[in-house]
Structure 1
Amino acid sequence: METNKVKQIHSFGQSIWLDFIDRTIISSGNLKKLIDEDGISGVTSNPSIFEKAISGSSDYDNEIRALGEDDKSNEDIFFGLAITDVKNATDLFRSVYDGTKGADGFVSLEVSPLLALKTEETANQALKLWKKVDRRNVMIKIPATQPGLSAIRSSTAAGININITLLFGLPRYEEVIEAYLSRLEDRMANGEMINQISSVASFFLSRIDVMVDPMLDERDLSDLKGEIAIASAKKAYEIFKRAFSGPRWEKLAAKGAKVQRLLWASTSSKDPSFKDTKYIEALIGPDTVNTVPLETIEAFRDHGIALNTLAKDLDKATETLSRLKKGGVDIDIITQKLEDEGIEKFNKAFEKLLQAIESQKVKV
């Protein structure tokens, strides 16, 4: 029998999570099938995913109407629907979570993107969602904006599992790691448990190439098309390996702390000239996660190549980013622009989602 190519990725220490959730995939048994056959070991969601799920099916209509009769706001209705889905998904992944001793099997739920630049409101909502889902294997997604960093710190200090999202740049990633380690150290100093806290830092990749690639032709750097995001990811992995080794980390690990895994997000190829499994094949390595849309999982199952690639060609990654800088492209400006655009995209999806709920409420 032919080896499942998606499952092969797990043998290199990388988890594959599904970047999708809706009621049908849970109730039909298809999510359970992905767990059993492909070794899918988690789920991520975001406002765009829920907007498509709620607008694109009638699965939520009755619950929207019932919640609407209680005079709840559209946002409260949305989180009521999302929490139901996330609870059901976390229950499906509980055996994965238990089997890996809490290293895997997570389902992520995002705070409102409208709060992306509001520290206190983000932290309050993260705690509220954490308590309402009430599952050890849920992760609350908080964006890696400057105000978000403070919310990440306080949420980690409160013992919440955090999926840090909308991460594009390496300097910000250094701050994200520091937020995690310093709050674990605070908890340890206070005599609090740190062995049950999990976190991932989600790098958004293909969007980097979408923005940078058009700039390369005019700078005689066209051979770097489709390479900047992967080079950034490899440099991030270098930072990860440095941060999660040595005396500082060993003190935390001795108390059961878990590494904050790097997660590759936005890994479907946006450029049709690229192989559709490009951003998976190039970044397979230990202590990482790749969160993948269903169609890309199917593509990898069909023709993907699973090899330990992440730590290879680090010199080339360094050279690629150096050439980009010499060519006059400031990657830090690019990544800040991508963060701003990412917030805007999620805000639009969230507002569209709230409008969809409003229109369903009135169809009584």
Structure 2
Amino acid sequence: MQLVKAGLCAFGMSGKVFHAPFLKEHPGFFISGIVERSKEDSKEKYPLAVIYRSVEEMLQNAEIELVIINTPVQTHYEYAKMALEAGKNIIVEKPFTVNVEEAEELVRLADEKGLFLSVYQNRRFDRDFLQVKNIINSGKLGTIKEAEIRFDRFRTTPSGKQHKENPQQTGSGSLHDLGAHLVDQAVQYFGYPEKLFADVFSMKGTAFANDYFEILLFYKNELRLRLKSSVFTKEAHYAYAVHGEKGSFLQERTDQQENELVAGAVPVFGEEWTVPLKEQDGILNVLNENNETERTFTLSEPGNYMDYYQQIYEHIVFGYPLPSPGSEVVQNMKIIDAALKSAEEGKVVEL
């Protein structure tokens, strides 16, 4: 099996949870290097990986062909450009960049260098996202007229993470953080909208970056799609609500991969490794061919973030399609930028 040597630009939560475990357990990857500026936390689990004190130092390793940019979003453009200029293929954590201009420049540079750039949109591999996609594609709801996707939390106190909560830092706030997931899911389900209207602000006050947003997406076929997130939601809503001419589907956000990984779970290559759901997590209410109501409770199939790295591997070795390429996720950045503009001006923004 061809071995792809990879380097991680950081070993914080993202590196420990979303990337290193999958790179280690996938037989096609080898973690050659990890950047830790002062600590050596990675040594215990990844003793064969060389610890570098800077991204620049790691990029000098000619054997590394894949670099994961998993640093704060404010540094994505700088490190991604540096890695591309060093001849490395790259995976960039979401959010891609702080604005469209940076994203477009990186995509152009990757094309010029003949390298690939993928954005780590891991929520495409969540069980709940996949279940909704299956229901929409099944046609059971008929023509979709209205939908809502939510990502709510109850985090009323500051986390202390300046790159996420300091309003003076471009790219901070929930719109870039959680909005990067919701916007991506919206585009995956329904394509690119025609225009939008957004409300974006901080419920915790102006000393903090936005922690609330509501975006209304307008589609040419008269579909209306609402994306919403709040940190003052103690009681959970259905994360997905899809309404069509033939009925409705409600889906809870039930994927637990992140929580299980944080708790120490080890992903298994080629197998399901998450804890099975004990209860059904969706409601499908539709009219059948006889115009009779059929209401059923549904159970989503497990998701697997390993599938992302399998697709990366297959792209490198076999030339299969690249998951979430930068050229595709640039469109998401346009929606995020437009949402900020709409909230500031109080106007509908054309896309």
When the two structures are superposed, what TM-score results if normalisation uses the length of structure 2?
Answer: 0.31
| Structure with the higher fraction of residues in strand conformation | 2
Structure having greater relative contact order (Cα 8 Å, sep ≥ 6): 1
Larger relative helix fraction = 1
TM-score under structure 1 normalisation? 0.30
